[in-house]
C-alpha cells in the first residue's frame, strides 16, 4: 500500500516535485535514443525532433511535477495527469513519427519487425480506435483504479499505457507515418467518434452517488470527509468530460487544416489532368 495521506494541497505546493529515478532514466534514455537515431537518417525533419522533446517535457511535467505528487490523493489531479498524457503528450509524440524513425534508422531486423503481422495489427486504424475506446473507461470506471493506488507499479504501467494508447490513436488521426491510413476527411470522423467515450466516462463519474474507488478514501488528504472525496471524484469526472472533449476538438483543427490542404492539392492535380486532356 502507498504511504499515509498527505496534507491538503494549496497553491504554494506547485513547486513540489516527484522525481522518480526510473522515470528520469526512461525519459532521458528515450530522448537520447531518438536524437541519435535522427542523426543517422539523412534529412530527418528537425520539427519532428522538436515535437519528440516537447512530448518528453509534457510527460515529465505530468508525472514528476506537483501533479505527480498529488495524483494519488486527488482524483482531480489524477485526471489532469491522464489527460496530459493521452491527449497532449501522446499526439505530440505522434507528430514526431517515432516508428518511421525506427524504420529508417534501424537495421534489417528492425524493419522486418515493423513490417511484421503483429505491428500491422497494432498500427491498424481499427486497433488504435478500439484500444482508446476500451482503455479510457476501463482505467477510470473499474477496480483497476483501486489496484493502481494499492500498487505503484500498476500506476506506472497505467501511465505508460496512456502514452502508448494515445499515440496509436493519434498516429492514425494525423496520418503522418507509413502503414494503413484513412482518407484525410475520415480522420475527423475518426476523432469525433471517440469523443463519446470521454463524455460517457466523465458523466458516469459526475453522476456517481458514492465514491466508486474505496482506496481514494484512504489516500485522501488528512481531514477529508466522505462528502469531499465524492465531490473531488465529481470534479475529476467533469475534467474528463469537459477537458477531454475540448482537447479532442482542439486536435481536430490541424486535422481539418491538413484535409483542406490535401483537397486543394487534389483539385489542382485534377485541373491539370483535365487541361492536359483539353477538357
Residues of the chain with pLDDT under 70: 1-17, 279
The pLDDT assigned to 2 comes to 44
CB 168 within 8 A of CB 94: no
Q: Is residue 255 part of a domain?
A: yes
| Angle made by CA atoms 127, 131, 134, in degrees to the nearest 5 | 135
Q: How far apart are CA 184 and CA 255, in angstroms?
A: 7
CB 68 within 8 A of CB 62: yes
Q: How far apart are CA 182 and CA 147, in angstroms?
A: 37
User: What pTM did the predictor assign?
Assistant: 0.89
Assigned C-alpha cell, 204? 458516469
Q: Is residue 3 part of a domain?
A: no
The total of structural domains in the chain comes to: 1
Q: Is residue 9 part of a domain?
A: no
The pLDDT assigned to 214 comes to 81
Q: Domain of 233?
A: 15-276
Report, in this order, helix, strand and coil percent for the chain, each rounded to 5.
Answer: 75, 0, 25
- b/e map 227-257, b = 16+ CB within 10 Å: eebbebbbbbbbbbbebbeebbeebbeebee
Q: Is residue 90 part of a domain?
A: yes
Instruction: Tell me how far CA of residue 71 lies from CA of 10, 91, 216, in angstroms.
Output: 14, 22, 10
CB 153 within 8 A of CB 217: no
The pLDDT assigned to 6 comes to 58
Q: Is residue 49 part of a domain?
A: yes
Q: Is residue 5 part of a domain?
A: no
Q: Is residue 126 part of a domain?
A: yes
Q: Is residue 10 part of a domain?
A: no
List the alpha helices (DSSP H) in 142-243: 144-150, 152-174, 184-192, 195-206, 214-219, 226-238
Amino acid at each position: 500500500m502507498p504511504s499515509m495521506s498527505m496534507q491538503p494541497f494549496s497553491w504554494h505546493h506547485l513547486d513540489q516535485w516527484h522525481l522518480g529515478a526510473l522515470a528520469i532514466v526512461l525519459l532521458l534514455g528515450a530522448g537520447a535514443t531518438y536524437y541519435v537515431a535522427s542523426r543517422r537518417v539523412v534529412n530527418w525533419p528537425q520539427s519532428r525532433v522538436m515535437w519528440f522533446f516537447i512530448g518528453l517535457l509534457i510527460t515529465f511535467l505530468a508525472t514528476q511535477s506537483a501533479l505527480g505528487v498529488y495524483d494519488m490523493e486527488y482524483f482531480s489531479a489524477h485526471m489532469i495527469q491522464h489527460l496530459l498524457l493521452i491527449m497532449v503528450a501522446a499526439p505530440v509524440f505522434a507528430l514526431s513519427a517515432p516508428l518511421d524513425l525506427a524504420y529508417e534508422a534501424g537495421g534489417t531486423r528492425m524493419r522486418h519487425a515493423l513490417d511484421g503481422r503483429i505491428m500491422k495489427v497494432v498500427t491498424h486504424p481499427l486497433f488504435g480506435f478500439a484500444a482508446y475506446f476500451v482503455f479510457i473507461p476501463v482505467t477510470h470506471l473499474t477496480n483497476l483504479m483501486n489496484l493502481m493506488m494499492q500498487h505503484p507499479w500498476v500506476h506506472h504501467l497505467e501511465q505508460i499505457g496512456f502514452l502508448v494508447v494515445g499515440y496509436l490513436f493519434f498516429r492514425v488521426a494525423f496520418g503522418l507515418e507509413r502503414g494503413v491510413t484513412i482518407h484525410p476527411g475520415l480522420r475527423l470522423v475518426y476523432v469525433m467518434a471517440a469523443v463519446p467515450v470521454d463524455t460517457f466516462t466523465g458523466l458516469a463519474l459526475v453522476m456517481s452517488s458514492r465514491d466508486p474507488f474505496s482506496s481514494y478514501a484512504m489516500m485522501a488528504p488528512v481531514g477529508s470527509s466522505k462528502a469531499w472525496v465524492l465531490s473531488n471524484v465529481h470534479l475529476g469526472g467533469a475534467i474528463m468530460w469537459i477537458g477531454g472533449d475540448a482537447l479532442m476538438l482542439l486536435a481536430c483543427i490541424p486535422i481539418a487544416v491538413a484535409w483542406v490542404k490535401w483537397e486543394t492539392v487534389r483539385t489542382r492535380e485534377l485541373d491539370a489532368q483535365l487541361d492536359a486532356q483539353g477538357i
